[in-house]
Structure 1
Amino acid sequence: MMTGILQEHFTLANDVEIPKIGFGTWMIEDDDKAAQAVREAIEVGYRHIDTAEAYGNEAGVGEGVRSSGLDRKEVFVTTKLRAEYKDYEGARQAIDDSLRTLNLGYIDLMIIHSPKPWAKFGEDEHYFAGNLEAWKALEEAHEAGKIRAIGVSNFEQVDLRNIIDNSETLPAVDQVLAHIGNTPFELMDYARQHNILVEAYSPFGHGDMLHNVEVQRIAERNQVSVTQLAVRYLLQLGLLPLPKASSTEHMRQNADVDFVIGDEDMTQLRNITKQQYSDANRQFPVYQS
């Protein structure tokens, strides 16, 4: 039975409700494993599943939702338009491909995975025109009822401004790397000004945060795990965390966050400004900053 935070929602700018915690499926590349993980997450009580065309597991995620025993409308599913699509026709086709692969009738939220193709992530070019082309395809799919809400991921302020200044539809969300030790406060403030919900992927710094002694001490003081502290920290900042978990025990623990971090501890956590990433994680562009 769902309890606590798993029953709560944020309301997006277009009045669509989105559960306050999502279950992340990045790096679950086998469809059978993805389907099983989704079923387990739903059994625990998660009602928000996050995937992407680039993850290679949309079919498995769709199967997990369909075989969960729940009505489709009870599960909020997010997927992402691959970062390499910066043209209208390519984006339009990719949206329809994701709809077919997921096989869920519609997509609750679809977002542009990155303002830049991953191979060009560190370069100065922002692909403004290409992102507007991709956004136009998303807008049309939204208007057609294929997608309930549309948004972006890994967009900086300048990238958001391009969409805001040149489109009729504002992004509902910006999904970004955010966690203790790497919290984009200026971006969060800008997004809030435009009623854009910020979602936080890799809320545990892809595991590296678990070894942070300062965070460990604060978790111990609050009598919770580091992962619980990390999820609660993001929620108290008004962000939507997307934790991953390899077992149902961890799924439950990550959502067992019905406690409050005190002001002094929150200030200390906000002031942790650097998270060292392991060499294994530096291969991903989002961890190179």
Structure 2
Amino acid sequence: MTEITNIKLNDGVEIPVYGFGTFMIPADGSTKKAVKEALDSGIRHIDTAVAYFNEQEVGQAIRESNIPREEIFVTSKLWLQDFGYEAARKGIDKSLEKLGLDYIDLYLIHQPYGDVVGAWKAMEEAKADGKIRSIGVSNMTVKIWNQFVPDFETLPSVNQVEYNPYYQQKELRQLMKRNNVHIESWGPLGQGNKDLLNDSLISKIAEKYGKDNGQIILKFEIQDGIIVFPKSTNPKRIRTNMELFDFELTENEMQQMRNLDKGHGSHNPDAPGVKEFLLSAFDVHTNDY
């Protein structure tokens, strides 16, 4: 079985560098099945969110796996509808209830708009109370980071952002490195970007190592210090995606991959109207009773 390595975050918590994402997997049994497959494959890091509406199935798969709880790293994220101190306290408890777990390993500010500072305070308290082991942020650009983080009592442990070889977040990475904050990649395979998945340089490297292009992309990201969690509901793909730890890219190949950066991605958190669009997208409390 593939041996996935861990790295230590700035708060001392260890996180697997490779995990399994559940974004857009429906809560109709599909999430539970996919997470079970991921766990059976040896993956021990599962990423979900309140706004994915599938925390309950993630928790079911974990509880039914018979794998000791402390061996599985679980991430969830607070939706901006629950920002502000009091709302965040309730939101954290709701996540724990839906997951059916005693604690969450990593909890993130999902979209950094509104009363982020109040939400962060609630997350700090939940960490102190043992409900959460580590806290972080998501979709924070340099501009948004500088707007909110100076008002935090403690630094985030991670910043989960769009990241792939075509969008390598170079300015943000410099800021995160200065603060000893790890970057996690959502959409590490470019969310199906055909140009990326069929890039000629990546194809050439893949042929050399007897790997597919997706494996080369994920290997590059992990080797460059990024935490990844690709998503799939295909059992074969879940297993092959993680076959990354039996080879190393050369420094020349790493530099060639770094040169693929185009400097922009599909999502710009700094764009006007993003907060309003996201708030109106859906109600995370629709099914609350």
Place the TM-score, normalised by the shorter chain, in its bin. 0.7 to 0.9
TM-fit CA distance, 1:246: 2.2
Aligned partners of 1:112 and 1:153 also within 8 Å? yes
Q: For residues 18 and 75 of structure 1, what CA distance do their matches in structure 2 show?
A: 10
Alignment of 1:136-285 (within 5 A): 136-208=121-193, 209-258=196-245, 259-274=247-262
Aligned partners of 1:31 and 1:58 also within 8 Å? no
Q: For residues 253 and 276 of structure 1, what CA distance do their matches in structure 2 show?
A: 28
Aligned partners of 2:169 and 2:263 also within 8 Å? no
SS in structure 2 opposite 1:135?
A: helix
Give the TM-score normalised by structure 2: 0.87
The reply on whether 1:96 has 2:83 as its aligned counterpart is: no
The reply on whether 1:3 has 2:8 as its aligned counterpart is: no
SS in structure 1 opposite 2:185?
A: strand
SS in structure 1 opposite 2:124?
A: helix
Aligned partners of 1:31 and 1:59 also within 8 Å? no
The corresponding residue for 2:77 is: 80
Task: Output the amino acid matched with 1:149.
Answer: S
Between the aligned residues of both structures, percent identity stands at 39
Q: What is the root-mean-square deviation in Å for CA atoms of aligned residues?
A: 2.1
Alignment of 1:32-43 (within 5 A): 32-43=29-40
Task: Output the amino acid matched with 2:183.
Answer: V
Aligned partners of 1:175 and 1:200 also within 8 Å? yes
The corresponding residue for 1:121 is: none
Aligned partners of 1:78 and 1:109 also within 8 Å? yes
Q: For residues 144 and 216 of structure 1, what CA distance do their matches in structure 2 show?
A: 48
Q: For residues 186 and 253 of structure 1, what CA distance do their matches in structure 2 show?
A: 32
Aligned partners of 2:221 and 2:227 also within 8 Å? yes
Aligned partners of 2:156 and 2:181 also within 8 Å? yes
SS in structure 1 opposite 2:80?
A: coil
Spell out, residue by residue over 1:67-125, the C-alpha distance to the aligned partner (whole angstroms, 9 max, x if none): 11111111110000013333212211111110100001111100011113xxxxxxxxx
Task: Output the amino acid matched with 1:47.
Answer: R
Aligned partners of 2:198 and 2:213 also within 8 Å? no
SS in structure 1 opposite 2:29?
A: helix
TM-fit CA distance, 1:215: 2.5
Task: Output the amino acid matched with 1:225.
Answer: D
The corresponding residue for 2:54 is: 57
Q: For residues 63 and 183 of structure 2, what CA distance do their matches in structure 1 show?
A: 28
Q: For residues 43 and 153 of structure 1, what CA distance do their matches in structure 2 show?
A: 28
Q: For residues 31 and 13 of structure 1, what CA distance do their matches in structure 2 show?
A: 37
Q: For residues 28 and 102 of structure 2, what CA distance do their matches in structure 1 show?
A: 19
Aligned partners of 1:80 and 1:112 also within 8 Å? yes
SS in structure 2 opposite 1:62?
A: helix
TM-fit CA distance, 1:14: 1.3
Structure 1, unmatched stretches of 5+, are: 117-126
CA spacing shift, 1:276–1:249, aligned 2, 3 Å = farther
Number of residue pairs matched? 268
The corresponding residue for 2:116 is: 131
The reply on whether 1:44 has 2:29 as its aligned counterpart is: no
1:115 equivalent among 89, 112, 116: 112
Give the TM-score normalised by structure 1: 0.87
CA spacing shift, 1:179–1:36, aligned 2, 3 Å = same
TM-fit CA distance, 1:249: 1.6
More moved, 263-272 vs 156-165: 156-165
Spell out, residue by residue over 1:151-210, the C-alpha distance to the aligned partner (whole angstroms, 9 max, x if none): 000111233234442222110100011011111022112112111111111111011122
